[in-house]
């Protein structure tokens, strides 16, 4: 979901293609963008590397030919409903010879994962009429990726394809400024299915951590749930962030406050963003949508109603107060407040108001008597002096993560500091 900088599109993507094994004709290339980029002769010469042996399927595969680099993801689905009990297909990208294959590998892998999911759920690839839309999908995806390093393309009425180039593929090596360092108190939100990469060094760690990434747990909780160290969890999430598979948001708490940005106006101009917002935020409305539309045929489009909910968020109003004030609209839309906030933060529509407690010590210089205190937080790590963290440099999220407490518990502990006043500074950030 994370929006990319339009200036960071990549002209290195020369071709996107879909190939499959036809039981009569063998390997075929039914769809490619731009049409005719790979001639029949070219495909025949490299088809054995595109449609591969079963042992090489379901993992990234690359080769060079014709002065170009091919980055592919071949898929094998074994099922009795297919002829020969198997379906072979490959999604591939063609880039310049000097391009970084590893940086481009996530693109065909993510598209292949989406097609595999569609096929498993509804037989998409077995239906020639439905599968024909791939011609337009590949064309739109290639053009959008070239222009702005990401794309949102409708495959079917309720199925959207979202792809985003990694920073290296979009233009240059990953730098610390481009991919911020992941902190323990941040929450990774999956932007697509997280599939462990076979043959990669972090497979075991990724396989353990990925199933727990749900857009709710922060990194430290992910580590505990997966049974790995916080350092390992951070490393896995950092890699997923670099390749565009996750976006980072703050810990969601109803006591938090958010403010809208000027980017909220994008909802009026971007049809793809409107559709994505409704699909992501209003997932609870699928069952009731038809009934609601029949009852109120003149109702405003749901994205317009979501815009109004976004606009109602204010820096001095907690999410809980906002929810109570707009409960009827939220329930009518089937909107999930947590997902609404996450969507807004990821797309730059919302800014979080962070609080930084600062304890004003009244002890004499050199005295340590008032700097120590028995921690009221049972889950905090042993040896953590929680009062020393009240230095105006640690946000509520970071404190709650370190002390293993809720915002309400932290509030109560701060109020209990009689005679030791605490000031709170506030800043807004994504």
In a domain, 371, yes or no: yes
CB 306 within 8 A of CB 335: yes
Report the SS3 class of residue 362. coil
In a domain, 176, yes or no: no
| Whether residue 319 sits in one domain with residue 195 | no
| Whether residue 366 sits in one domain with residue 307 | no
In a domain, 1, yes or no: no
| Whether residue 159 sits in one domain with residue 23 | yes
Give the Cα separation of 146 and 138 in Å (integer): 12
Tens digits of pLDDT across the chain (430 residues): 443 443 344 568 899 999 999 988 999 999 999 999 999 999 998 999 999 999 999 999 999 888 888 999 999 999 888 888 899 999 999 988 877 787 788 889 989 988 998 898 888 998 999 999 999 999 999 998 888 777 888 888 778 888 877 655 655 433 333 567 899 999 999 887 776 544 433 456 778 888 999 989 999 999 999 998 888 888 888 878 877 788 899 999 898 999 999 999 988 888 889 998 998 898 655 444 544 454 454 467 889 999 999 999 988 899 999 999 999 999 988 999 999 999 999 999 999 998 888 887 655 555 444 444 566 777 677 667 888 888 888 889 989 888 888 888 888 888 887 555 565 655 656 5
| Whether residue 358 sits in one domain with residue 337 | no
For the four alpha carbons of 330, 333, 334 and 336, in that order, the dihedral sign comes to negative
CB 130 within 8 A of CB 156: yes
Burial class (CB in 10 A: 0-12, 13-18, 19+), 53: exposed
| Whether residue 235 sits in one domain with residue 214 | yes
| Whether residue 199 sits in one domain with residue 74 | no
| Whether residue 140 sits in one domain with residue 93 | yes
What is the number of domains present in the chain?
4
Distance of CA 424 to the CA centre of its chain: 32
Q: What residues are paired with 88 via a beta bridge?
A: 76
Q: Which domain holds residue 194?
A: 187-249
Report the SS3 class of residue 233. helix
| Whether residue 261 sits in one domain with residue 245 | no
In a domain, 182, yes or no: no
Q: Is the peptide bond before 346 cis (omega within 30 degrees of 0)?
A: no
| Whether residue 358 sits in one domain with residue 305 | no
Give the Cα separation of 33 and 136 in Å (integer): 9
Strand (E) positions, 103-149?
Answer: none
Closest CA to 39 of 17, 23, 61: 17
| Whether residue 38 sits in one domain with residue 100 | yes
In a domain, 46, yes or no: yes
Give the Cα separation of 237 and 87 in Å (integer): 32
In a domain, 228, yes or no: yes
| Whether residue 370 sits in one domain with residue 240 | no
Give the Cα separation of 274 and 92 in Å (integer): 29
| Whether residue 236 sits in one domain with residue 198 | yes
Tokens of 380: 């905090």
Tokens of 194: 């997280």
Give the Cα separation of 222 and 226 in Å (integer): 6
């Amino acid at each position: 979901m994370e929006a990319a900088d339009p200036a960071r599109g990549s002209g290195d993507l020369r071709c996107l293609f879909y190939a499959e094994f036809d039981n009569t004709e063998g390997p075929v290339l039914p769809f490619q963008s731009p049409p005719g980029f790979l001639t029949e002769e070219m495909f025949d010469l490299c088809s054995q590397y595109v449609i591969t042996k079963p042992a090489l399927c379901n993992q990234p595969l690359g080769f060079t030919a014709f002065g170009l680099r091919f980055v592919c993801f071949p898929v094998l689905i074994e099922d009795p409903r297919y002829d020969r009990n198997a379906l072979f297909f490959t999604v591939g990208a063609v880039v310049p010879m000097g391009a970084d294959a590893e940086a481009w590998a996530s693109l065909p892998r993510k598209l292949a994962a989406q097609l595999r999911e569609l096929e498993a759920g509804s037989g998409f690839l077995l239906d020639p009429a439905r599968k024909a839309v791939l011609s337009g999908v590949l064309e739109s995806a290639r053009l959008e990726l070239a222009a702005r390093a990401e794309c949102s393309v409708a495959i079917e009425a309720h199925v959207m394809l979202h792809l985003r180039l990694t920073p290296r593929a979009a233009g240059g090596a990953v730098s610390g400024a481009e991919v911020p360092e992941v902190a323990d108190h941040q929450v990774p939100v999956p932007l697509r299915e997280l599939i462990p990469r076979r043959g990669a060094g972090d497979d075991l760690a990724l396989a353990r951590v990925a199933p727990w990434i749900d857009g709710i747990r922060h990194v430290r909780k992910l580590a505990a749930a997966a049974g790995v160290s916080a350092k390992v969890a951070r490393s896995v999430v950092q890699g997923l962030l670099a390749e565009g598979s996750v976006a980072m948001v703050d810990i969601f708490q109803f006591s938090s406050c958010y403010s809208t940005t000027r980017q909220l106006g994008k909802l009026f101009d971007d049809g793809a963003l409107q559709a994505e917002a409704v699909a992501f935020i209003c997932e609870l409305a699928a069952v009731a949508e038809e009934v609601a539309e029949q009852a109120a045929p003149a109702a405003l489009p749901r994205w317009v109603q979501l815009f109004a909910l976004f606009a109602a968020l204010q820096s001095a109003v907690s999410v809980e107060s906002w929810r109570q004030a707009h409960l009827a609209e939220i329930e009518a839309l089937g909107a999930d407040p947590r997902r609404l906030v996450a969507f807004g933060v990821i797309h730059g529509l919302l800014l979080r108001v962070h609080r930084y407690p600062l304890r004003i010590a009244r002890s004499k210089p050199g005295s340590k008597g008032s700097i120590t205190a028995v921690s009221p937080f049972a889950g905090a790590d042993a040896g953590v002096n929680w009062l020393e963290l009240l230095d105006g440099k640690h946000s509520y999220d970071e404190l709650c993560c370190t002390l293993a407490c809720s915002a309400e518990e932290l509030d109560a502990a701060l109020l209990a500091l009689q005679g030791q006043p605490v000031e709170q500074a506030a800043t807004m950030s994504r």
